[in-house]
Structure 1
Amino acid sequence: MTGGHPVAPVLPGFHPDPSVCRVGDDYYLACSSFEYFPGIPLFHSRDLRHWTRIGNVLDRPEQLRLPVGSPSSGGLYAPTLRHHDGRFWLIVTNVSDAGNFLVTATDPAGPWSDPVPLPGVPGIDPDLAWDDDGTCWCTVAGVSQVRIDPYTGKTLGEPRRIWSGTPGAKAPEAPHLYRVGDHWYLLIAEGGTERGHGVSIARGPAPDGPFEPCPANPVLTHRSTDDPVQNTGHADLVQAPDGTWWLVFLGVRARGGSPGWHVLGRETFLAPVTWEDGWPVVGPLVSGAERSTAGYRDDFTRPGLAPEWISPRSRPAAHVTTQEPPGRLTLRAAGASLDAPDAVFVGRRQEDLTCRVRTRIDAAQGRGGLAVRLDERHHYEIEADAEEVRVVARIGPARTVLAARPAHGRPLVLGVGIAETRTLSDPRTGPDTVTFGVEEADGTFTALAALDGRYLSTEVAGGFTGRVIGLYATAGTVRFDWFAYEPV
């Protein structure tokens, strides 16, 4: 807690597995993006609390292959972002395609290179570190390590197991290797990415060890506490220009009754670090920058979509454009529903526990609408065609139309309001309520259906992502004049 108020993430919404590096006075941070394209969101900051989106690392189809049949929560896992020898390096795993690869850039805003495959690097969660003689060490979940030539992707020797964390703790992963003073430190996550998540560390005389564990491990965990931020882990260390040290890591804000549901996905948090007897000590969480209540509005006046817009697996230009006509988002359907892996959907991460979204749709020539998506089997939407507006819920194997009203063949303003649960009526109370409706000509909002938000949570659906709110087409051609998101 900070100042009596819940600690806010520095990157709210579905921004897991943060990796950070500093160049001079500037910090850069990348996160996992899983099945969404463009891949790997990239941010810039001067203080670690205020972050600005500067793009996506993998924003060209030739950089990122996510086959239509690949599952949700597949795709891109756990990038590591580093700066070395005047160049930015990002290494990541595509679990839905060819495994580990790296890309480089001289400007973090891009363009980034085509991928350099790493066929000899096993596993997931790859890390990069260079020693004094220029040798590049790649460490992966498990935890094993191999030397590589980062320019060609060739491995130099065989992978070797170096440390596997606390005996008995599951899922040693997310390794990061650092030189601090006379020691090399190996930071890992362990305990699984759920409530048992934590961060542990070991040190040794060389990049390949041998490593001794910190006697105070885990150096960060919120397991078995009542802290409102849970699942803390998957961390990365960075030193500020003034010599202070900081830790970025993921966590969740579970809400509602028991067992608690988190709906925004795993978010990025920040904490200070001090050093005692040569070991890092993680301090209380630091709250992120205060959120603007103004939200944002997109009138689709850019030649293409802003970098915050993402789509499952791909975004073919033939199906998504802001140029036909200019100033409107035109979607042409592929999959016949949001259950389909090739559904045409463009969305933005839900970043606030309570928020309101509106869009103006013309569905006279098709069918589409406004959706809150977790994956193909868990989504709510309000959709329209020329005849009708309806609210649809897909929860696991069940798909239900909850309410409907005539559309009369004219453009409509569709809306969704999401309200965090603040009072528990019983221990089974869900985390929030998701209300869909239509905005009338006089500006009043007519609610058509209110749904329990727990069914669009990781605790129900599983996986590694969070909610994405967006626009879609499932028949014909559908156009949108604008999209507005407002924290409440």
Structure 2
Amino acid sequence: MEYRNPVVPGCHPDPTVCRVGSTFYLATSSFEYFPGVPLYRSDDLVSWDRIGHCLTRDEQLDLTDTAASDGVYAPTLRHHDGTFFLVTTDVSGTGNFLVTADDPAGEWSDPISLDAPGFDPDLFVDGETAYLTYAHGSTLPETTIRQAEVDLDTGAVGEERELWQGIEGTFSEAPHLYERDGTYYLLTAEGGTHTNHMVVAARSDHPTGPFEGCPDNPVLSHRGHPMADVKATGHGDLVRAPDGSWWLVFLGVRQHGGHPGWHHLGRETFLAPVEWEDGWPVVDGGDPVTTTMQVESLPGDGSPPDAPAPARPTRTTFDGDSLDGAFEYRRNPDRSAYSLDDGDGLTLRGRTERLGQHGATFVGRRQAHFDCRTYVDLAFDPEPGEEAGLAAVMDERHRYEVGVTRSDGTTSVVVRRRIGNAAEVVAESPVSGDGDTWRLAVDATTDSYRFLSGADDPTELATLATRYLATEVSGSFTGVYLGMYATSGDDDPTPARFERFVYEPTGE
């Protein structure tokens, strides 16, 4: 059987997975985006359906002052005695915390603070004892793996102990602890989160160690495969399927553009089969993981896998009472800036003068394909200095936007770019009509974004390179989001009504 990697495309790093019966559940990091920690469900580990987020309420997660690429890091999702547990870190706020749910698609609890330092927490329950294992260190690369017992009702954490220093003694993070046939296995990441990333394994007769490293460590890394179509593989989590087979979900990037290359879709979730040899995990037979995988079978009913939810189109006229689950905000939204108009569109009100300011009005979805088209139909009659439109955003300092604005008595469609300290208008085209509906579009390929306006005979306004929104340029941990925005310097901004949003793949 063939399946395609990544199994959860677009910005979905640090995947964590658990199984309940024949159903798998997966969560990933979310950084400064809200709601926090997206959740997916699958019967075959390939076709992932979106079921919601763990952190949906402001009292669960306050990202108001969070910088780009801070926020929520590296969750661990587990199920024990009928309850789902998720531990994670808000690195810019509350630190490590725990939330629970009876139904992962429903409401999750308010956070229980975990009085433990560090980040990338893991939860493992062995009999009556729960263990919190985490990366410890004030700054990378001087980190080690530490552990303490934890009370799941109160969050009280016991005395910590050092568990593992890694195989290189630096960048040791992302621990996950498991039991298999009476042996305890520790999986961690090393090498940083870029092209030196890797997964290493260790084992012990007791969950508290001491742990011995696998003689074939790392058990997964593409650091020695510069021509591989998947790079930066690491930060993995193991899961056993009902048929007894084992699998690893992990992050990787699809880098392009030659050497050294770049990636702008973010770190994505990949899947590989795992065999056990001499009591050690062997990932994909020891071969590099690819974007096209051949396996004997997948869990589930054996039917061809569907595309995962992030790879499916988003086509909406905003006629429901809530936004499509693909949409997320940059930090907690000011609810007064967003309103659904009884099936007549989504209205945005600008709360800042520029899109690059904290608190800017923006809502979008992850770019999950290199080749895709995104467009909006926008009803907007701006006052001078106001703007609304469609943007491709890596972070506040690395973004492109095409919007409708007004200055000197003229309404125009403009294309702006911001790359680090350089910001400029790269195209401007006057348009006729006041309060009309404007179609704005972004056509993406691996190497470029084309910005267009007009529905029937669209005008190409500008073409900009994807590489300047890449992690290798921006330094950001996320990927590009494509979404709607509005800006205004007025206390009573003109509403911008988006009548339609469409995101669809065009080439993959």
TM-score band, normalised by shorter chain: over 0.9
- 1: CA distance between counterparts of 2:31 and 2:37? 8
Question: After TM superposition, which residue ranges in structure 1, 4 or more long, deviate above 3 angstroms?
Answer: 284-294
Identify the match of residue 52 of structure 1 among 46, 49, 53. 49
Helix, strand or coil at the partner of 1:89:
strand
Asked whether the 8 Å contact 1:172–1:190 carries over to 2, the reply is yes
- 2: CA distance between counterparts of 1:327 and 1:111? 28
Q: Report the TM-score when normalising by structure 2.
A: 0.89
Asked whether the 8 Å contact 1:304–1:321 carries over to 2, the reply is no
- Cα 1:294–1:60 change in 2 (3 A) is closer
Confirm whether residue 317 of structure 1 aligns to residue 335 of structure 2.
yes
Confirm whether residue 353 of structure 1 aligns to residue 370 of structure 2.
yes
Aligned residues: 466
Q: Report the TM-score when normalising by structure 1.
A: 0.93
Render the CA deviation track for 1:10-58: whole Å, top value 9, x for unaligned. 0000000000000000000000000000000000000001000000110
Confirm whether residue 435 of structure 1 aligns to residue 454 of structure 2.
no
1:244 corresponding residue in structure 2: 245
Q: After the TM superposition, which residues 38-187 of structure 1 pair with which residues of structure 2 at under 5 Å, given as runs?
A: 38-68=35-65, 70-118=66-114, 120-132=115-127, 134-141=128-135, 142-156=144-158, 158-168=159-169, 170-187=170-187
- 1: CA distance between counterparts of 2:70 and 2:133? 21
Asked whether the 8 Å contact 2:333–2:359 carries over to 1, the reply is no
Asked whether the 8 Å contact 2:314–2:326 carries over to 1, the reply is no
1:468 corresponding residue in structure 2: 481
1:427 corresponding residue in structure 2: none
Identify the match of residue 14 of structure 1 among 11, 15, 23. 11
Identify the match of residue 442 of structure 2 among 392, 416, 427. 416
- 2: CA distance between counterparts of 1:239 and 1:334? 48
Q: After the TM superposition, which residues 325-474 of structure 1 pair with which residues of structure 2 at under 5 Å, given as runs?
A: 325-365=342-382, 366-386=386-406, 387-408=411-432, 409=434, 410-420=436-446, 432-440=447-455, 443-474=456-487
1:305 corresponding residue in structure 2: 323
- Displacement of 1:163 in angstroms is 0.5
- Cα 1:294–1:144 change in 2 (3 A) is closer
- 2: CA distance between counterparts of 1:281 and 1:394? 44
Render the CA deviation track for 1:392-416: whole Å, top value 9, x for unaligned. 0000001110011113322200000
Render the CA deviation track for 1:426-448: whole Å, top value 9, x for unaligned. xxxxxx111101124xx222110
Instruction: Give the AA of the match of 1:241.
Output: P
Instruction: Give the AA of the match of 1:82.
Output: R
Gaps of at least 5 residues in structure 1 are 421-431
- Displacement of 1:369 in angstroms is 0.6
Once the two structures are aligned, what percentage of the paired residues are identical? 49
Asked whether the 8 Å contact 2:203–2:213 carries over to 1, the reply is yes
- 2: CA distance between counterparts of 1:9 and 1:290? 13
- Displacement of 1:250 in angstroms is 0.3
Render the CA deviation track for 1:125-153: whole Å, top value 9, x for unaligned. 00000112x11100001200011101111
- 2: CA distance between counterparts of 1:265 and 1:471? 20
Asked whether the 8 Å contact 2:5–2:271 carries over to 1, the reply is no
Helix, strand or coil at the partner of 1:254:
coil
- Displacement of 1:231 in angstroms is 0.3
- 2: CA distance between counterparts of 1:364 and 1:40? 36
2:301 corresponding residue in structure 1: none
RMSD: 1.6
Q: After the TM superposition, which residues 155-304 of structure 1 pair with which residues of structure 2 at under 5 Å, given as runs?
A: 155-156=157-158, 158-168=159-169, 170-225=170-225, 226-283=227-284, 285=289, 287=292, 289=305, 291=307, 295-304=313-322
- 1: CA distance between counterparts of 2:402 and 2:27? 32
Instruction: Give the AA of the match of 1:344.
Output: T
Gaps of at least 5 residues in structure 2 are 136-143, 294-304
- Cα 1:86–1:461 change in 2 (3 A) is same
- Displacement of 1:294 in angstroms is 7.2
